[in-house]
Amino acid sequence: MKNLFIFDLDGTLIDRFTPFGENFIFEKDYRKIESNLFEKLKNKFKNSEMAIISSSCDLSVLKIMQNNFETFFKNFNHLYFENGGVYYQNGIKKILPEPKNKDKIKKLVDSINLNFKESLKTEPSYKEVSFAIHTKPEQTKEHQSIFDFLNANLPDGWIILSAGKHSFELFPSDMTKIAGFDKIISKNNTYNEIYFFGDRMLPGGNDYDLAKHEKVTKAFHVSNYDDTEIILQKIINGIDIHSDDICTGTNAKIF
């Protein structure tokens, strides 16, 4: 029996952001993601595979991992960043062709930086194939105003997704997390069961489409890394992954 375990990154395997400042990587987060939980999980489910499908930029992940992907390559069979726009194959970085209308999106994001600068926590992030915008936690009304402005002015072929309580991302419309998932499935379509862990599974969230995918056996809507760890420990310790008790002791829910 071959299972596939898929994990989001931010808010699922790491709790990354502090309220302000550039030094936002907690040392404890690096230790968490280096955990041997995944090795134990693979030992319990022989021949199973582990995947990360994240909207994060791989360069920010490199920063978290202190410029060392060894832990990822050891534990995860599939690594997809920017929802599959950037991925690693045999340790080599691959980037999809630049999406249509990216220049228009950049101009739109630049206008946000100009007109809503006081509401932004940091400069907008320009990634390989996507863009991310983070607003200040106390600027809830302005956050919605920026979201509505972007949504009303998106060029053809682009969508806006919630990536956190105070952040959202702009992606090509064909590059939700299902894009990364489809790449995995195209290589091996013989998985017995597929499990997905993510923290943004409500409509409009960047985990929603994958959580609702017909091939996903069960999706765990977690609040943070601690939820993920508790559920994985229960699975490793013998609690049936389909048990109603699997989320007890966490803020997680079966989606």
Residue % of the chain over a pLDDT of 70:
84
Q: Is the pLDDT of residue 68 over 80?
A: no
The secondary structure element, H or E, covering residue 107 is: helix 102-115
Q: What are phi and psi of 16, to 5 degrees?
A: -95, -40
Lowest mean pLDDT among 30-44, 70-84, 200-214: 30-44
Residue 156 Cα distances to 100, 104, 187, 240, angstroms: 9, 10, 30, 45
The candidate with the shortest Cα–Cα distance to 86, out of 61, 119, 113, 50, is: 61
- What's the confidence (pLDDT) of residue 27? 46
Q: Is the pLDDT of residue 102 over 50?
A: yes
**CATH code at 102-172:** 3.90.1070
- What's the confidence (pLDDT) of residue 72? 64
Q: Which residues contact 156 (CB under 8 A, 6 or more apart)?
A: 100, 101
217 DSSP 8-state letter: S
Tokens 């994990």 sit on residue: 7
Lowest mean pLDDT among 22-26, 71-75, 211-215: 22-26
Query: Do 206 and 54 touch, CB atoms closer than 8 A?
Result: no
Q: Name the CATH topology of 3-96+175-254.
A: Rossmann fold (3.40.50)
Sorted by where each begins, the domain ranges of the chain are 3-96+175-254, 102-172
Query: Do 14 and 64 touch, CB atoms closer than 8 A?
Result: yes
Residue 135 CA to residue 116 CA, distance in Å, equals 9
Fold: same for 3-96+175-254 and 102-172: no
